[in-house]
Amino acid sequence: MRAGEVGRALLGLVVLAGLLLPWLSVAPNRLLPGVAASGFAAISWAAPAALVAVVLAVPQRLPAWLGAPAALAGVALLLTATGWAAALSLEGLAPAARAGLGGGFWLGLVAGAALVVARAAALPGMGRAVLAAFALLTLLLLWQAGTFEALSLVVEYRAREAVVHAALLRHLALAGAALALALLLAVPLAWAGFRRPGAAGPVGAALGAVQVVPAIALFAALIPLLAGLLALLPALRSLGLGAIGPAPAVLATAGYLALPLWRSVLGGLTAADPAAVAAARAMGMTEGGITREVRLPLALPVFAGGLRVAVVQAIGLVTLGGLVGAGGLGALVFEGLAQFATDLMLLGALPIMALALAADALIRLLEHRLGGSA
């Protein structure tokens, strides 16, 4: 599909989202269902201008340096209009009334953001960086201006700001601990598999068996196993281990991360060009020197690829830690599910998605840089 066809398809999604799907929903409080309004009904005065800005980004003949900012301006205008429409919809209502975001808004936002990305793909690396910085600056300015203060999601965040920040830090700590534990397991096993190829098969089968077990079942199964272990070795409690809390979340997540890390390390070590290894041996280099000077530099792009998969998996999987008392953003998600509070669920889910996308983009950039320098 050509770039112009992609742009027209994405623009069609924005239009359909505004015409057919609920954009805003006004409810008497955070729990009761509200009355939905379509996008063109809720923000009719701004929708045509926003669509004009987005349309400018669609034609292929339009330069990317103009099309990408035009699409970004359209998305920013839709965000601004949505915030103002939410404030207007709450005028005269009780303080407990909420203006929630509907499915049309989320579909329109995703389609608009995808259009910005599609048009920005034709820009050089520096141009994409400038556009990303400008997008973040625009979002920050809108936030500081109070544009979104009337939205139910922001009201929920203001009421739980300290809790959300603590949950975010806890989530990062759990994901980091699981990643570190998985590396401690995967790297020595990969080195052993590289030195003794016969051991790679059983190790790979054992790590692969963990992937077959559903994540929620593994998290739950670790609770009685850890309880039994702590009953046999009570001294472990002094180390902060418990059957409920961070321990099962970190252990279960590390079990899932071990396989992609092990594969990437083993694949990277074995990916070195045999001719380069032979040339190094002919120069009199030892095996240790060959590993440091030849194998590891050539393996770095492969390592980065496996690390990217593992980091994104870690951010997602530790969400289930909320079910076993580990805390983190997953606790907000499951609390929202228990209360049927959509905004509370989104307070946990949106940062998780943002963290995963940011980690993927950053490590992908590192992977490309390492691949270019290899």
Residues 147 and 191 reside in one and the same domain = no
Residues 167 and 123 reside in one and the same domain = no
Residues 173 and 214 reside in one and the same domain = yes
How far apart are alpha carbons 316 and 354 in whole angstroms?
Answer: 11
Give me the residue label for tokens 């252990």: 251
Residue at which a domain ends, from 133, 151, 169: 151
Residues 280 and 206 reside in one and the same domain = yes
Query: What is residue 143's predicted lDDT score, i.e. its pLDDT?
Result: 94
How far apart are alpha carbons 73 and 121 in whole angstroms?
Answer: 17
Residues 74 and 187 reside in one and the same domain = no
Residue 45: inside a domain = yes
| Largest Cα–Cα separation, the chain | 84
Residue at which a domain ends, from 89, 118, 151: 151
Contact between residue 90 and residue 150 where contact means Cβ atoms under 8 Å apart: yes
For residue 318, what is the enclosing H or E element? none
Neighbour count for residue 143 (Cβ, 10 Å): 14
Helix axes 152-159, 161-195, angle to 10 degrees: 90
Query: What is residue 63's predicted lDDT score, i.e. its pLDDT?
Result: 74
Contact between residue 48 and residue 125 where contact means Cβ atoms under 8 Å apart: no
Residue 170: inside a domain = yes
Query: What is residue 1's predicted lDDT score, i.e. its pLDDT?
Result: 47
Reported pTM: 0.86
Residues 89 and 147 reside in one and the same domain = yes
**Nearest in space to 112 (alpha carbons), one of 39, 45, 62, 42:** 39
Neighbour count for residue 314 (Cβ, 10 Å): 27
Residues 257 and 303 reside in one and the same domain = yes
49-105 residue pLDDT tens = 455 545 544 555 567 777 788 888 888 888 888 888 888 888 888 888 888 888 878
Residues 192 and 67 reside in one and the same domain = no
Residues 143 and 176 reside in one and the same domain = no
Residue 177: inside a domain = yes
Residue 202: inside a domain = yes
Q: Which amino acid is at 204?
A: G
Residues 124 and 230 reside in one and the same domain = no
Residue 186: inside a domain = yes
Query: Any idea what DSSP says for residue 34?
Result: -
User: Which residue ranges in the chain fall short of pLDDT 70?
Assistant: 1-20, 38-62, 371-374
Residue at which a domain ends, from 117, 151, 185: 151
Query: What is residue 365's predicted lDDT score, i.e. its pLDDT?
Result: 83
In this structure, what are the phi and psi dihedrals at residue 99, rounded to the nearest 5 degrees? -115, 100
Residues 225 and 258 reside in one and the same domain = yes
Query: What is residue 145's predicted lDDT score, i.e. its pLDDT?
Result: 93
Residues 179 and 325 reside in one and the same domain = yes
Q: Write the Ramachandran bin of 92: left for phi over 0, alpha for psi from -120 to 50, otherwise beta.
A: left
Query: What is residue 58's predicted lDDT score, i.e. its pLDDT?
Result: 53
143-171 residue pLDDT tens = 999 999 999 999 999 999 999 999 999 99
Query: What is residue 356's predicted lDDT score, i.e. its pLDDT?
Result: 94
- Of the chain, the end-to-end C-alpha distance in Å amounts to 32
CATH number at residue 243: 1.10.3720.10
Q: Which domain holds residue 171?
A: 161-373
Q: How many Cα atoms are found within 13 Å in the side-chain-facing hemisphere of 107?
A: 21
**Nearest in space to 250 (alpha carbons), one of 342, 184, 176:** 176
Judge residue 220's burial from the number of C-beta atoms within 10 Å of its C-beta, 0-12 exposed, 13-18 middle, 19 or more buried.
Answer: middle
Domains contained in the chain, number: 2
Residue 156: inside a domain = no
